[in-house]
Amino acid sequence: MVSIDLNNFWSSAFQDLLVLVGYILLILVGLVLAVSYLTLAERKVLAAIQIRVGPNVVGWFGLLQPFADGLKLIHKETIIPTRANPFLFILAPILTFSLSLSAWAVIPFGEGWVISNINVGILYLFAISSLGVYGIIMAGWASNSRYAFLGALRSAAQMVSYEVSIGLVLIAVILTAGSLNLTEIVEAQKGLWFIIPHLPMAVIFMISALAETNRAPFDLPEAESELVTGYNVEYSSMTFALFFLGEYANMILMSAMGSILFLGGWLPPFDIVPFTWVPGIVWFSLKISVLLFVFLWVRATFPRYRYDQLMRLGWKVFLPFTLFWVVLTSGVLVTFNLYPGS
Protein backbone atom coordinates (compact mmCIF):
# COMPACT_ATOMS: atom_id res chain seq x y z
CA MET A 1 0.00 0.00 0.00
CA VAL A 2 1.41 3.35 -1.04
CA SER A 3 0.69 6.46 0.92
CA ILE A 4 2.30 9.84 0.32
CA ASP A 5 2.60 12.17 3.26
CA LEU A 6 1.75 15.33 1.43
CA ASN A 7 2.58 17.62 4.33
CA ASN A 8 6.22 16.59 4.58
CA PHE A 9 6.62 16.82 0.85
CA TRP A 10 9.24 19.56 0.62
CA SER A 11 11.34 18.64 3.61
CA SER A 12 11.80 14.95 2.90
CA ALA A 13 11.04 14.21 -0.71
CA PHE A 14 13.05 16.60 -2.86
CA GLN A 15 15.73 14.03 -3.51
CA ASP A 16 13.12 11.37 -4.23
CA LEU A 17 11.54 13.77 -6.68
CA LEU A 18 14.79 14.09 -8.65
CA VAL A 19 15.15 10.30 -8.75
CA LEU A 20 11.54 10.00 -9.87
CA VAL A 21 12.09 12.48 -12.71
CA GLY A 22 15.11 10.41 -13.72
CA TYR A 23 13.00 7.22 -13.85
CA ILE A 24 10.29 8.97 -15.83
CA LEU A 25 12.82 10.26 -18.37
CA LEU A 26 14.31 6.76 -18.63
CA ILE A 27 10.91 5.24 -19.40
CA LEU A 28 9.97 8.00 -21.84
CA VAL A 29 13.21 7.71 -23.81
CA GLY A 30 12.92 3.92 -23.86
CA LEU A 31 9.31 4.12 -24.95
CA VAL A 32 9.92 6.60 -27.76
CA LEU A 33 12.80 4.45 -29.02
CA ALA A 34 10.59 1.36 -28.81
CA VAL A 35 7.85 3.16 -30.75
CA SER A 36 10.24 4.27 -33.49
CA TYR A 37 11.62 0.77 -33.89
CA LEU A 38 8.12 -0.67 -33.80
CA THR A 39 7.35 1.31 -36.96
CA LEU A 40 10.44 -0.18 -38.58
CA ALA A 41 9.50 -3.66 -37.32
CA GLU A 42 6.02 -3.24 -38.74
CA ARG A 43 7.38 -2.39 -42.18
CA LYS A 44 9.89 -5.23 -42.05
CA VAL A 45 7.33 -7.80 -40.90
CA LEU A 46 4.78 -6.70 -43.50
CA ALA A 47 7.52 -6.85 -46.14
CA ALA A 48 8.54 -10.33 -45.08
CA ILE A 49 4.95 -11.58 -45.15
CA GLN A 50 4.45 -10.09 -48.62
CA ILE A 51 7.88 -11.42 -49.81
CA ARG A 52 9.42 -7.97 -50.18
CA VAL A 53 12.61 -6.53 -48.69
CA GLY A 54 11.22 -3.55 -46.77
CA PRO A 55 13.19 -0.43 -45.84
CA ASN A 56 16.89 -1.19 -46.37
CA VAL A 57 18.47 2.04 -47.63
CA VAL A 58 18.92 4.32 -44.60
CA GLY A 59 21.50 2.78 -42.32
CA TRP A 60 22.47 -0.85 -41.84
CA PHE A 61 19.42 -3.03 -42.77
CA GLY A 62 17.40 0.18 -42.70
CA LEU A 63 17.99 0.57 -38.98
CA LEU A 64 18.13 4.37 -39.20
CA GLN A 65 14.86 4.58 -41.16
CA PRO A 66 12.72 5.68 -38.13
CA PHE A 67 15.03 8.66 -37.54
CA ALA A 68 14.88 9.62 -41.20
CA ASP A 69 11.06 9.51 -40.99
CA GLY A 70 11.09 11.56 -37.81
CA LEU A 71 13.37 14.22 -39.32
CA LYS A 72 11.16 14.42 -42.38
CA LEU A 73 8.06 14.97 -40.22
CA ILE A 74 9.73 17.66 -38.10
CA HIS A 75 10.81 19.55 -41.23
CA LYS A 76 7.29 19.80 -42.60
CA GLU A 77 4.95 22.71 -42.02
CA THR A 78 2.21 22.51 -39.39
CA ILE A 79 -0.99 23.42 -41.19
CA ILE A 80 -4.06 24.49 -39.25
CA PRO A 81 -7.18 24.59 -41.46
CA THR A 82 -8.80 28.04 -41.65
CA ARG A 83 -12.18 27.04 -40.17
CA ALA A 84 -10.71 24.70 -37.59
CA ASN A 85 -10.83 25.27 -33.86
CA PRO A 86 -7.12 25.95 -33.27
CA PHE A 87 -7.00 25.25 -29.54
CA LEU A 88 -8.68 21.84 -29.73
CA PHE A 89 -6.91 21.09 -33.00
CA ILE A 90 -3.51 21.42 -31.31
CA LEU A 91 -4.67 19.92 -28.00
CA ALA A 92 -5.94 16.65 -29.54
CA PRO A 93 -2.58 15.14 -30.63
CA ILE A 94 -0.91 16.33 -27.43
CA LEU A 95 -3.64 14.62 -25.41
CA THR A 96 -3.35 11.37 -27.38
CA PHE A 97 0.41 11.24 -26.98
CA SER A 98 0.60 12.22 -23.32
CA LEU A 99 -2.15 9.75 -22.36
CA SER A 100 -0.31 6.92 -24.06
CA LEU A 101 2.81 7.86 -22.07
CA SER A 102 1.19 8.45 -18.69
CA ALA A 103 -0.18 4.91 -18.50
CA TRP A 104 3.37 3.58 -18.11
CA ALA A 105 3.58 5.01 -14.60
CA VAL A 106 1.94 1.89 -13.13
CA ILE A 107 3.41 -0.84 -15.36
CA PRO A 108 5.73 -3.12 -13.37
CA PHE A 109 8.79 -3.97 -15.49
CA GLY A 110 10.20 -6.36 -12.94
CA GLU A 111 9.87 -7.22 -9.28
CA GLY A 112 9.56 -3.79 -7.67
CA TRP A 113 10.50 -2.02 -10.92
CA VAL A 114 7.56 0.31 -11.06
CA ILE A 115 7.29 4.09 -10.73
CA SER A 116 4.02 4.10 -8.83
CA ASN A 117 2.80 0.86 -7.28
CA ILE A 118 -0.78 2.01 -6.66
CA ASN A 119 -3.55 -0.14 -5.21
CA VAL A 120 -5.86 0.24 -8.18
CA GLY A 121 -3.25 0.00 -10.93
CA ILE A 122 -5.41 -2.01 -13.28
CA LEU A 123 -8.28 0.48 -12.96
CA TYR A 124 -5.84 3.30 -13.69
CA LEU A 125 -4.73 1.52 -16.87
CA PHE A 126 -8.35 0.96 -17.86
CA ALA A 127 -9.20 4.60 -17.21
CA ILE A 128 -6.26 5.87 -19.25
CA SER A 129 -7.06 3.57 -22.17
CA SER A 130 -10.69 4.67 -22.09
CA LEU A 131 -9.60 8.31 -22.32
CA GLY A 132 -7.73 7.69 -25.56
CA VAL A 133 -10.94 8.20 -27.51
CA TYR A 134 -10.98 11.92 -26.63
CA GLY A 135 -7.87 12.71 -28.64
CA ILE A 136 -9.49 11.19 -31.70
CA ILE A 137 -12.95 12.66 -31.23
CA MET A 138 -11.55 16.15 -30.54
CA ALA A 139 -9.28 15.93 -33.58
CA GLY A 140 -12.21 14.90 -35.76
CA TRP A 141 -14.46 17.69 -34.55
CA ALA A 142 -11.82 20.45 -34.43
CA SER A 143 -10.60 19.82 -37.99
CA ASN A 144 -14.00 20.88 -39.33
CA SER A 145 -13.80 18.27 -42.08
CA ARG A 146 -16.39 15.63 -43.04
CA TYR A 147 -13.88 12.82 -43.40
CA ALA A 148 -12.18 13.56 -40.13
CA PHE A 149 -15.53 13.86 -38.32
CA LEU A 150 -16.87 10.57 -39.69
CA GLY A 151 -13.64 8.83 -38.70
CA ALA A 152 -13.86 10.27 -35.21
CA LEU A 153 -17.49 9.17 -34.74
CA ARG A 154 -16.69 5.65 -35.90
CA SER A 155 -13.78 5.52 -33.55
CA ALA A 156 -15.78 6.75 -30.57
CA ALA A 157 -18.49 4.13 -31.06
CA GLN A 158 -15.94 1.39 -31.59
CA MET A 159 -13.78 2.18 -28.58
CA VAL A 160 -16.74 2.52 -26.22
CA SER A 161 -18.14 -0.82 -27.41
CA TYR A 162 -14.96 -2.79 -26.98
CA GLU A 163 -14.14 -1.22 -23.64
CA VAL A 164 -17.12 -3.09 -22.20
CA SER A 165 -15.71 -6.49 -23.08
CA ILE A 166 -12.19 -5.48 -21.98
CA GLY A 167 -13.66 -4.43 -18.64
CA LEU A 168 -15.30 -7.82 -18.15
CA VAL A 169 -12.07 -9.59 -19.14
CA LEU A 170 -10.28 -7.54 -16.50
CA ILE A 171 -12.89 -8.52 -13.92
CA ALA A 172 -12.33 -12.23 -14.64
CA VAL A 173 -8.58 -11.76 -14.16
CA ILE A 174 -9.03 -9.66 -11.01
CA LEU A 175 -11.30 -12.34 -9.52
CA THR A 176 -8.61 -14.97 -10.07
CA ALA A 177 -5.76 -12.80 -8.82
CA GLY A 178 -7.67 -11.26 -5.90
CA SER A 179 -6.12 -7.83 -6.32
CA LEU A 180 -6.30 -4.66 -8.38
CA ASN A 181 -2.57 -4.09 -7.97
CA LEU A 182 -0.59 -5.01 -11.09
CA THR A 183 2.39 -6.36 -9.16
CA GLU A 184 0.14 -8.65 -7.14
CA ILE A 185 -1.64 -9.78 -10.31
CA VAL A 186 1.72 -10.85 -11.74
CA GLU A 187 2.74 -12.52 -8.47
CA ALA A 188 -0.53 -14.48 -8.47
CA GLN A 189 0.52 -16.10 -11.75
CA LYS A 190 3.54 -17.85 -10.24
CA GLY A 191 3.28 -21.44 -11.39
CA LEU A 192 0.26 -20.94 -13.64
CA TRP A 193 -0.07 -18.11 -16.12
CA PHE A 194 -3.63 -16.89 -16.46
CA ILE A 195 -3.59 -17.65 -20.18
CA ILE A 196 -4.11 -21.33 -19.30
CA PRO A 197 -7.33 -21.08 -17.24
CA HIS A 198 -8.49 -17.95 -19.10
CA LEU A 199 -7.52 -18.80 -22.69
CA PRO A 200 -10.82 -17.58 -24.25
CA MET A 201 -10.51 -14.34 -22.28
CA ALA A 202 -6.94 -13.86 -23.55
CA VAL A 203 -8.15 -14.25 -27.14
CA ILE A 204 -11.01 -11.80 -26.56
CA PHE A 205 -8.64 -9.36 -24.88
CA MET A 206 -6.28 -9.49 -27.85
CA ILE A 207 -9.11 -8.92 -30.36
CA SER A 208 -10.54 -6.09 -28.26
CA ALA A 209 -7.07 -4.58 -28.00
CA LEU A 210 -6.95 -4.51 -31.80
CA ALA A 211 -10.27 -2.65 -31.84
CA GLU A 212 -9.24 -0.36 -28.98
CA THR A 213 -6.05 0.74 -30.75
CA ASN A 214 -7.87 1.13 -34.09
CA ARG A 215 -5.61 -1.42 -35.74
CA ALA A 216 -6.40 -3.69 -38.67
CA PRO A 217 -8.79 -5.48 -39.11
CA PHE A 218 -10.74 -2.91 -37.06
CA ASP A 219 -9.09 0.19 -38.52
CA LEU A 220 -12.40 1.64 -39.73
CA PRO A 221 -11.75 5.11 -38.27
CA GLU A 222 -8.86 5.49 -40.70
CA ALA A 223 -10.17 3.41 -43.57
CA GLU A 224 -8.06 4.77 -46.43
CA SER A 225 -10.42 3.79 -49.20
CA GLU A 226 -13.50 5.60 -47.85
CA LEU A 227 -12.33 8.21 -45.33
CA VAL A 228 -8.89 9.11 -46.76
CA THR A 229 -7.30 8.47 -43.35
CA GLY A 230 -10.14 9.50 -41.08
CA TYR A 231 -9.64 11.65 -38.02
CA ASN A 232 -6.06 12.69 -38.79
CA VAL A 233 -6.59 13.72 -42.40
CA GLU A 234 -6.08 17.45 -41.71
CA TYR A 235 -2.96 16.95 -39.62
CA SER A 236 0.58 17.42 -40.81
CA SER A 237 4.11 17.55 -39.46
CA MET A 238 4.56 17.13 -35.68
CA THR A 239 0.84 17.14 -34.92
CA PHE A 240 0.48 14.11 -37.18
CA ALA A 241 3.64 12.57 -35.73
CA LEU A 242 2.16 12.78 -32.21
CA PHE A 243 -0.95 10.87 -33.33
CA PHE A 244 1.25 8.32 -35.02
CA LEU A 245 3.50 7.89 -31.99
CA GLY A 246 0.48 7.75 -29.71
CA GLU A 247 -1.12 4.97 -31.74
CA TYR A 248 2.03 2.87 -31.64
CA ALA A 249 2.66 3.62 -27.96
CA ASN A 250 -0.89 2.41 -27.32
CA MET A 251 -0.12 -0.82 -29.15
CA ILE A 252 2.89 -1.36 -26.91
CA LEU A 253 0.78 -0.49 -23.86
CA MET A 254 -1.93 -3.00 -24.82
CA SER A 255 0.74 -5.66 -25.34
CA ALA A 256 2.23 -4.87 -21.95
CA MET A 257 -1.25 -5.12 -20.41
CA GLY A 258 -1.80 -8.45 -22.15
CA SER A 259 1.48 -9.86 -20.90
CA ILE A 260 0.82 -8.66 -17.35
CA LEU A 261 -2.73 -10.04 -17.27
CA PHE A 262 -2.23 -13.34 -19.06
CA LEU A 263 1.44 -14.11 -19.67
CA GLY A 264 2.80 -13.57 -16.18
CA GLY A 265 4.54 -10.22 -16.70
CA TRP A 266 8.20 -10.50 -15.76
CA LEU A 267 7.92 -14.13 -14.53
CA PRO A 268 9.89 -16.80 -16.40
CA PRO A 269 7.83 -19.59 -18.01
CA PHE A 270 9.20 -22.21 -15.62
CA ASP A 271 10.55 -21.50 -12.17
CA ILE A 272 13.70 -23.61 -12.69
CA VAL A 273 17.35 -22.75 -13.14
CA PRO A 274 18.14 -21.82 -16.75
CA PHE A 275 14.99 -19.72 -16.97
CA THR A 276 15.44 -17.90 -13.68
CA TRP A 277 18.93 -16.71 -14.72
CA VAL A 278 17.37 -14.42 -17.29
CA PRO A 279 16.36 -11.10 -15.67
CA GLY A 280 12.64 -10.35 -15.44
CA ILE A 281 12.69 -7.33 -17.72
CA VAL A 282 14.01 -9.50 -20.55
CA TRP A 283 11.08 -11.89 -20.17
CA PHE A 284 8.70 -8.96 -20.01
CA SER A 285 10.11 -7.38 -23.19
CA LEU A 286 10.05 -10.74 -24.96
CA LYS A 287 6.37 -11.23 -24.11
CA ILE A 288 5.53 -7.70 -25.26
CA SER A 289 7.40 -8.33 -28.51
CA VAL A 290 5.50 -11.55 -29.16
CA LEU A 291 2.15 -9.78 -28.66
CA LEU A 292 3.28 -6.88 -30.87
CA PHE A 293 4.18 -9.39 -33.56
CA VAL A 294 0.61 -10.69 -33.35
CA PHE A 295 -0.62 -7.11 -33.99
CA LEU A 296 1.52 -6.88 -37.16
CA TRP A 297 0.74 -10.43 -38.24
CA VAL A 298 -3.00 -9.78 -38.00
CA ARG A 299 -2.63 -6.59 -40.03
CA ALA A 300 -0.91 -8.48 -42.83
CA THR A 301 -3.39 -11.36 -42.79
CA PHE A 302 -6.97 -10.16 -42.30
CA PRO A 303 -9.18 -7.94 -44.44
CA ARG A 304 -10.97 -5.01 -42.79
CA TYR A 305 -14.25 -5.65 -40.96
CA ARG A 306 -17.48 -4.03 -42.05
CA TYR A 307 -18.92 -1.62 -39.51
CA ASP A 308 -22.06 -3.59 -38.64
CA GLN A 309 -19.97 -6.74 -38.27
CA LEU A 310 -17.68 -4.91 -35.88
CA MET A 311 -20.60 -3.81 -33.69
CA ARG A 312 -22.18 -7.26 -33.84
CA LEU A 313 -18.95 -8.90 -32.71
CA GLY A 314 -18.54 -6.48 -29.82
CA TRP A 315 -22.06 -6.40 -28.44
CA LYS A 316 -23.61 -9.71 -29.46
CA VAL A 317 -20.65 -12.08 -29.22
CA PHE A 318 -18.01 -10.72 -26.85
CA LEU A 319 -20.26 -9.05 -24.29
CA PRO A 320 -22.45 -12.12 -23.54
CA PHE A 321 -19.50 -14.47 -23.62
CA THR A 322 -17.31 -12.41 -21.28
CA LEU A 323 -20.28 -11.96 -18.94
CA PHE A 324 -20.81 -15.73 -18.92
CA TRP A 325 -17.11 -16.25 -18.27
CA VAL A 326 -17.11 -13.86 -15.29
CA VAL A 327 -20.04 -15.79 -13.79
CA LEU A 328 -18.31 -19.09 -14.54
CA THR A 329 -15.02 -17.91 -13.01
CA SER A 330 -16.63 -16.72 -9.82
CA GLY A 331 -18.72 -19.90 -9.64
CA VAL A 332 -15.69 -22.15 -10.01
CA LEU A 333 -13.67 -20.10 -7.52
CA VAL A 334 -16.39 -20.31 -4.89
CA THR A 335 -17.37 -23.95 -5.49
CA PHE A 336 -13.83 -25.33 -5.31
CA ASN A 337 -12.77 -22.85 -2.62
CA LEU A 338 -10.03 -21.53 -4.88
CA TYR A 339 -10.60 -17.84 -4.43
CA PRO A 340 -7.53 -15.91 -3.37
CA GLY A 341 -7.14 -15.48 0.34
CA SER A 342 -9.04 -18.68 1.24
Partner 1 sequence: MINIAAILFYLFSGVLLSSAMMVVTARNTVHGVLFLILAFFNAAGLFILANAEFLALLLVVVYVGAVAVLFLFVVMMLNVEMGNIQKTAREYSVAGGLIGGTLAVELILMLYSWNTSPEAFEMISSPISKDGVTNTQALGNLIYTHYALIFQASGIILLIAMVGAIVLTLRHREGIRRQKIGDQLARDPKDSVSLVDISPGSGI
Binding site for partner 1 (CB under 8 A): 1, 3, 6-7, 9-10, 88, 118-120, 123-124, 126-127, 130-131, 133-134, 137-138, 141, 149, 153, 156-157, 159-160, 163, 167, 180, 308-309, 312
With H, G, I as helix, E, B as strand and everything else as coil, classify residue 336.
Answer: coil
Whether the Cβ atoms of residue 227 and residue 263 lie closer than 8 Å to each other: no
Whether the Cβ atoms of residue 77 and residue 86 lie closer than 8 Å to each other: no
The residue type at 287: K
Residue with smaller CB distance to partner 1, 77 or 308 = 308
Whether the Cβ atoms of residue 169 and residue 208 lie closer than 8 Å to each other: yes
State the nearest-atom distance from the C-beta of 174 to partner 1, in Å.
9
State the nearest-atom distance from the C-beta of 27 to partner 1, in Å.
21
State the nearest-atom distance from the C-beta of 270 to partner 1, in Å.
32
State the nearest-atom distance from the C-beta of 118 to partner 1, in Å.
7
State the nearest-atom distance from the C-beta of 129 to partner 1, in Å.
8
The residue type at 141: W
Residue with smaller CB distance to partner 1, 41 or 94 = 94
In eight-state DSSP terms, residue 317 is I
Query: What is the Cα gyration radius of the chain?
Result: 21
* Closest C-alpha among 334, 18, 321, 19 to residue 175: 334
Residue with smaller CB distance to partner 1, 137 or 260 = 137
Residue with smaller CB distance to partner 1, 149 or 295 = 149
Residue with smaller CB distance to partner 1, 21 or 199 = 21
State the nearest-atom distance from the C-beta of 271 to partner 1, in Å.
28
Query: How far is residue 156's CA from residue 339's CA, in Å, rounded to a whole number?
Result: 36
Residue with smaller CB distance to partner 1, 9 or 61 = 9
Cis peptide before 217 (omega within 30 of 0): yes
Residue with smaller CB distance to partner 1, 55 or 121 = 121
Residue with smaller CB distance to partner 1, 179 or 237 = 179
DSSP codes joined into one string, 4-50: --GGGHHHHHHHHHHHHHHHHHHHHHHHHHHHHHHHHHHHHHHHHHT
State the nearest-atom distance from the C-beta of 121 to partner 1, in Å.
10
State the nearest-atom distance from the C-beta of 307 to partner 1, in Å.
12
Backbone angles phi, psi at 184, to 5 degrees: -70, -30
Q: Helix 86-102 and helix 121-142: axis angle, to 10°?
A: 160
Query: How far is residue 40's CA from residue 46's CA, in Å, rounded to a whole number?
Result: 10
* Closest C-alpha among 138, 140, 134, 97 to residue 229: 140
Query: How far is residue 234's CA from residue 70's CA, in Å, rounded to a whole number?
Result: 19
